[in-house]
Amino acid sequence: MEQEKNKITVSSCKASSHEQRIKNLTNKENKMFAKLYQRGDEQLLVKIEGADEGPEVRFYFEPEGFGVCSFSLGFDDNDEGWDKAESFFDKVEEEMAFSLVNNQKKNFMSV
């Protein structure tokens, strides 16, 4: 059985090649495409979007001493991949989002 590999990419911005799928997401009853969390002075944005390689859930944050940074979890570019990306995005809550971002910040700081 083939296992899906989730990709993590770091970049500042990607254009969506799956605009219709995103439009469908936002047309569903109250279906969110972004979540914004804040703790003190720290803000975190989580967004589901299409990328050249398929759907992704992207996390935006601003580490001390840096500008806005982002990383993403990518999924296969097919209906099943979109379903998995949507399911993951729906499960992301504040605690999980900050935990993932804090782990990524450690990687940024160790470079």
Give the angle 52-66-62 at the CA atoms, nearest 5°: 70
Statement: the pTM of the whole predicted model exceeds 0.75: no
In the chain, where are the structural domains located?
Answer: 7-109
Tokens, residue 53 = 């390689």
59-84: per-residue pLDDT in tens?
999 988 889 999 999 999 999 999 99
12-69: per-residue pLDDT in tens?
444 444 555 555 554 455 678 999 999 999 999 999 999 888 999 999 999 888 899 9
Give the angle 49-8-76 at the CA atoms, nearest 5°: 55
Report, in angstroms and rounded to the nearest whole number, the Rg of the chain calculated over CA atoms: 14
